[in-house]
Amino acid sequence: MNAPRIDGGAVLRFAPHARFRFDAVRQAWVVLAPERLLLPDEQAVEILRLIDGARDVDAIIDALAGRFDAPRDVIAGDVLPMLQDLMDKKVLRQ
């Protein structure tokens, strides 16, 4: 009944009424959702910019590990809990 636990094969997208956009006043990325406002930090923005409804979580982790020249499991340890939390908040969905 609950939302599935995500794994590397999950393909995620923003929920229809979640808006990930750049705010010109603050010069910062924001996520707007029902009565909820998220102000992602730089690292979270890098992750969220890779959410496109096409690539899976493994591909996102690979892309970030390559870009930041960091061990894959370290990146996965940051990415998976954050994406799971946004799934549970209904900001992202599969």
Point out which residues bind another protein (CB under 8 A). Answer: 1-4, 15-17, 19, 23, 25-26, 30, 32, 34-35, 37, 87-90
Handedness of CA 18, 32, 11, 6 (dihedral sign): negative
d(CA 76, CA 90): 21
Q: Which is nearer to another protein, 6 or 64 (CB)?
A: 6
Which of 3/54 has CB closer to another protein?
Answer: 3
Maximum pairwise Cα distance, the chain: 41
Could you tell me the smallest distance in angstroms from the CB atom of residue 26 to another protein? Answer: 6
